[in-house]
Chain A
């Protein structure tokens, strides 16, 4: 009988264990689906629910706070979604909160997201209806994305052309990469600075000069301000005129002389135009040349003669 009891005990243990496991599992599953605990209902009317189903999660600021209890169509452009929300978050959902249908990740389950807005409002009550936002439709998104992609394609091909051009030799790139240019630009800037400094000085001087001129100081000032001086100048100009006239006659005489020279008249003319003279001169020079050569040879011969040889050897050392 004792053996029977231990056997029954063992069986009892696994039965109880199994039952507890099952109850725990069912409770946990039910807990996730808000079947236990106190809840309240709110609803929202959507234009499009994108496949939202009974049992999908409801999130408040990203936290799971309830489930979708019912989805039913009430008009051709209105779907009523009843949500079962945990009582504990009731104070946090305001009457002006906005419900929207979203997706858990890119491919995940659909869910209702409740987001609060900035304006102040009182908390929701049982049976309230929330404002909704039209859900983002993937088709729409893809359509826009296609347009963007096309544009990007064009832009990138243009960019490629531009970068190719920049990269090629003899272009902006070489200009950009040339360090000499930068240094030149730097020194140019320094020079410009110097120049401006100097120009400042110059303009200062100019100012002084111009003020001096105004007051009739210096020659130029006198020139500008002195009326007597101008009559002198006039006389001078008349004299210059006369001088230039005589200069013209002189140049006329000169041209005549030059013509005569050209034609070989007079001794200068003969000297310049006689080709024979040049020939004779050439001849004279060449004979001087040969004379010098002979002299050289004579000198070499002299070196070999006995008393002189001794002298030359000495000088060589």
Chain B
């Protein structure tokens, strides 16, 4: 039983790897679906922005308020902007953005492609001469890969603004001083790796969502399963990628 599960896991990992390989093969084949790409950018990028913005703002505010008591204990209250900015930029804003998108976009793609699969729309597309993989998968994966970093940068900015408000609840930190301290603390080693890793987060969310949706079976029930497992696996992958990213930046000495 356990060995069967393990084999299933290995099988699925292999399938996902082959699916990813197919994505890269299809990516460079001509006839790019630009219109579909822009349409997806609107749905995936723009429609997710309010959700990401609210989450990032709250995280920035909350992290600042929560960090204050500890810093006050050390008499280092003036270090609040520096500490908060580092934790927000390096870790919290990118990961929160990726998780929110995994929930919203991953499930959306999984359910959309899954229902297309079970209603045989994908087969119909193939018959009508359109490459369904190129039209459905490649556009969505590229969109998530490009949109998640953009959302993450916006989330960085919004969460820092939340941090500014949070720092001003109990203390007084002027607008200029806050940003001065933030940019005094931040280095390229903080910003660049955290932006780079969001590309991988986006790619993982897109690939898993598409894989789960593209391989749906068992009718309408399968659509739910596809959406659910797309969220679970992509969320988990976000954390695993985060772990890898941190270790790689550490090895490269960028920390």
Which residues on A are within 8 Å of B, measured CB to CB?
4, 7-8, 10-11, 14-15, 17-19, 21-22, 25-26, 28-33, 55
Contacts and interface: CB of A to CB of B under 8 A. Distances in A.
A4 B35 contact: yes
B183 A32 contact: yes
Contacts of B183: 25, 28-29, 31-32
Contact of A29 (B42, B157, B191, B195): B191
Contacts of B188: 26, 29-30, 33
B186 A4 contact: no
A11 B154 contact: no
A21 B186 CA distance: 14
Given A11-B45, A18-B151, A33-B187, 14 more contacts: A7-B38, A10-B46, A11-B46, A14-B150, A17-B154, A18-B150, A18-B154, A19-B153, A21-B153, A21-B154, A21-B156, A22-B153, A30-B188, A32-B184
B150 A55 contact: no
Nearest to B183: A28
A10 B192 CA distance: 26
B151 to A, nearest CB: 8
Interface of B: 35, 38-39, 41-42, 45-46, 49, 149-151, 153-154, 156-157, 179, 183-184, 186-188, 191-192, 195
A11 B186 contact: no
Contacts of B191: 22, 25-26, 29
A168 B49 CA distance: 80
A55 to B, nearest CB: 7
Given A21-B157, A26-B191, A55-B187, A4 B150 contact: no
B158 to A, nearest CB: 10
The 10 closest A-B pairs by CB, nearest first: A7-B42, A18-B150, A28-B183, A18-B153, A11-B41, A22-B153, A21-B157, A10-B46, A18-B154, A11-B46
A8 B38 contact: yes
7 contacts: A7-B42, A15-B45, A17-B154, A21-B156, A25-B156, A28-B179, A29-B191
A19 B150 CA distance: 7
B187 A11 contact: no
Contacts of B179: 28
B20 to A, nearest CB: 25
Contacts of B154: 14, 17-18, 21
Nearest to A21: B157
A29 B49 CA distance: 26
Contacts of B150: 14-15, 18-19
Given A22-B195, A28-B183, A33-B187, A10 B153 contact: no
A4 B39 CA distance: 7
